[in-house]
Structure 1
């Protein structure tokens, strides 16, 4: 028989729905003590979990979450920076406000979470940062510049923190799934309706759901893996870019050519 894993203290952002809710449920089912956070005033949470409103763009909200964790848990073992928004669009269709919103949420939200909790983890001499990025942080399809750039920044943040924090006994993981069924498409900003339609179709057409991705992610976190690519499509895209670059380049150019043709016909 496998030994029963010891319970951990876990905070999950964006935990009211989608992958965040699925991750919170998996951690809770494992026996972990979970604080679920989201921008919603209140949300359903798994049995045994607690909830707190947290806008990841707010320093004050992060400080309140840290105080709650310290008072209720006495520390933190796993911080899951999951909250984020979908984004897409051709570069000439995306204004400055779009870029600020995407980078503020998808990059600085995770950065602020790490800045808030790393001092606590250093005090403990242990902990695990889990930053949810995307396969778009590793491979960079056309007409997704803001999303690609933001998720690539999260990958870079995670790798840098890995080397910085390992001597303190702190583990780091970065999660890079490809498209899977979730409500992420609801956060698309509408700056480029044609590309929003494409993204929505890819999300809704995936064979994998959030529960399956969450199960694989939690197993990988248990194993303390750094780069977590929880589905075949993500791994295939990553290794094609690494090992078969001419094929990868042709695939990306083919996508760009299709977008050009669609724009010409519009």
Structure 2
């Protein structure tokens, strides 16, 4: 039985992962920004270093350590480069990238003392392939991918494993977190999320299997895998597809849609 902490556990992929871990017999500490949650639950704002310190203390006091940290909390964002504001950039960097950095920094000393531990960071297919009109989201998710690869090598001598999860769109309430000046981009993102044939439970099932195998790069759905391998093996085709997406977005903006 493993001791597991999941951030962003109140909904979406976080909640689905918690349910999967519990069903598999693990001890799970759910964390999120809200004050209330099902026990065991801890309020944790990934932007707040004091909350991270409290999470480490909770794991030490109640469990004597931690086996698996899942840095899953995040928000959706995006927009054309001249439309999305710098405040929006600051917000998504602080949550989606620095929230993961803070989590790793908080728990790595404990893992090193244990000479064991496992970090799983939720990124996105947007961390591997980079569609237009998603500069901020692509950038932070690519940062999570880079951080995860770096730490997978850096922490290996201490017996610490690292994985990164890169799904494409799936049904969740993530679209509710979109705030920003580019309302057209927000509407497109919401449509892609809400009309996806994949649920959070579908993604969680594949992610859990990848964690059991300690796969470094976990790409849990076919559209994300196709996009990833198209970029790597058929770059001209990938570039043409990205330019088509950009052209359609330009036409919508020109038409006022």
When normalised by structure 1's length, the TM-score is 0.95
Displacement of 1:88 in angstroms is 1.1
2:226 pairs with 1:236: yes
Q: 1:191 offset after TM fit, Å? A: 2.0
What secondary structure is seen at the aligned counterpart in 2 of 1:40? coil
Local SS of the residue matching 1:190 = coil
Residue 82 of structure 2 aligns to a residue whose secondary structure is helix
SS at match of 1:79: strand
Cα distance, 1:264 vs structure 2 = 1.1
For 1:12, the equivalent position in structure 2 comes to 6
Compute the displacement of 1:168 (Å): 0.7
How far the C-alpha of 1:265 sits from its partner, in A, is 1.1
Match of 1:28 in 2: 22
**Aligned pair partner of 1:37 in 26, 31, 34:** 31
What are the residue-to-residue correspondences of 1:60-139 with 2, within 5 Å? 60-139=50-129
2:46 aligned to which of 46, 53, 56? 56
Deviations 1:161-200 (A, max 9, x none): 0000011100000000000000000000132110101000
Offset, 1:141: 0.1
Q: Deviations over 1:88-130 (max 9, x none)?
A: 1111111110000000000000000000000000011111000
Q: Over aligned residues, Cα RMSD in angstroms?
A: 0.7
1:149 and 2:149 equivalent? no
User: What's the CA shift string for 1:116-167, capped at 9, x where partnerless?
Assistant: 0000000111110000000000000000000000000000000000000011
SS at match of 2:132: coil
Give yes or no for contact 2:121–2:163 (8 Å, CA) kept in 1: yes
| Distance of 1:190 and 1:203 partners within structure 2 | 17
Shift of 1:43: 2.0
Of 239, 262, 265, 2:255 maps to 265
Question: Number of residue pairs matched?
Answer: 256
